[in-house]
Structure 1
Amino acid sequence: ELARPGVVRITLRPVVVDPNAKANSKTAKSAKAAAAKAARLAAPAQPAQQPPPPPPVPVTTDGKPKKNLAGFTPRELEEFRLLLLSKRRELVGDMSSMEREALRSAQGSNLSNLPLHMADMGTDNYEQEFTLGLVEKDRQLLREINSALAKIQDGRFGICEGTGKPISKARLEAQPWARFSIEHARMMERGMLRR
């Protein structure tokens, strides 16, 4: 058969693995260590369960809303509460799908009869660790959202945990789970303050 210019012919050859051949002990140890690490990382990951939504803005015994220390109206607090609940629903869905994906990659694929290359195992481990890191970051954000919802309940929503002063409405509209005023957060980022 004549070769045509610009055409590349690729021939695939099957890989034959001799089951009686000795494996390189270093490669085998690395593979075992990588599998153990993947199992260890995947073990604590459990599907996120969505906690029940908190009740609407609390009221006093006379039926009037509790006073918010930051000066927000009951309507504004309800808007923030709805924003927080929406973000929480989004996070719980994202976390569940990422955990499923990380666990699926930890369990391997149905190509287990093919030999694994060390680079492939390293890539798989990196991707799994990266995904589990994202899940943990989302868990932390979920804790902050739940804390903000509790603060709406007890009237402390919108108060900076560092200064005790109100957080700007613009900051809370952008990030309703914010714990610190923008000024205090900047000083912490510069290392001038501790959390």
Structure 2
Amino acid sequence: MKQDVVEGSEYKPAEDEPFMNDRQLEYFRQKLLDWKSSLLDDSRGTIEGMQEGTRNIPDIADRASEETDRALELRTRDRQRKLVAKIDSALRRIEDGSFGYCEVTGEPISLKRLDARPIATMSLEAQERHERKEKVYRDDR
């Protein structure tokens, strides 16, 4: 794909152009790569901060507070690690031609939804059905 398709412009995918044309694919590819880069930069900063921040804190309350902060930070990083895996999966879908199409119905996912959540694998309707089924299953336990 051409790198110059999106660079230097304020391009936004539009409903009146062919769905998942080269320009749209490059737009989403770049959006995903930027998002991944940002997450990885944050992660590196956290690791460096945790390595530098290791210290012996004599006060029990302060130590507990710091351990709670570290646990929250690690949980956040774990969520971001999973998000990076979803971004990589979306990038693979761009390469194999399945990006932008619902994995349940095969229908196109709306451009608005993809712009807001480029890792989406289901149309809004399919996602809502999935969540309703999940809730019913959870409530039956």
Q: TM-score, normalised by structure 1?
A: 0.56
Counterpart pick for 1:84 among 32, 52, 56: 32
1:174 aligns with 2:116: yes
For the pair shown, the structure with the greater C-alpha radius of gyration is: 1
What is the one-letter code of the residue matched to 2:37?
A: R
1:97 aligns with 2:45: yes
**Offset of residue 192 of structure 1:** 5.1
Do the aligned partners of residues 116 and 188 (structure 1) sit closer, same or farther apart at CA in structure 2, a change above 3 Å counting? farther
Name the structure with the higher helix share. 2
Runs of at least 5 residues in structure 2 that lack an aligned partner in the other structure: 3-17
**Offset of residue 84 of structure 1:** 0.9
| Matched length | 121
Counterpart pick for 1:124 among 52, 66, 70: 66
Secondary structure of 1:78's counterpart equals helix
Q: Distance in 1 between matches of 2:21 and 2:136?
A: 31
The share of aligned pairs that are identical, in percent, is 32
Secondary structure of 1:167's counterpart equals coil
Q: Deviations over 1:167-193 (max 9, x none)?
A: 111101111111222222223333258
Secondary structure of 1:163's counterpart equals coil
**Offset of residue 82 of structure 1:** 1.1
Q: CA RMSD in A?
A: 2.3
Q: Distance in 1 between matches of 2:117 and 2:70?
A: 28
Alignment of 1:33-112 (within 5 A): 56=1, 71-105=19-53, 107-108=54-55, 112=56
**Contact 1:159/1:165, CA 8 A, preserved across alignment:** yes
What is the one-letter code of the residue matched to 2:118?
A: P
Query: Which protein, 1 or 2, shows the higher relative CO under an 8 Å CA cutoff with sep ≥ 6?
Result: 1
**Offset of residue 73 of structure 1:** 0.8
Runs of at least 5 residues in structure 1 that lack an aligned partner in the other structure: 1-55, 58-69
Q: Distance in 2 between matches of 1:183 and 1:145?
A: 22
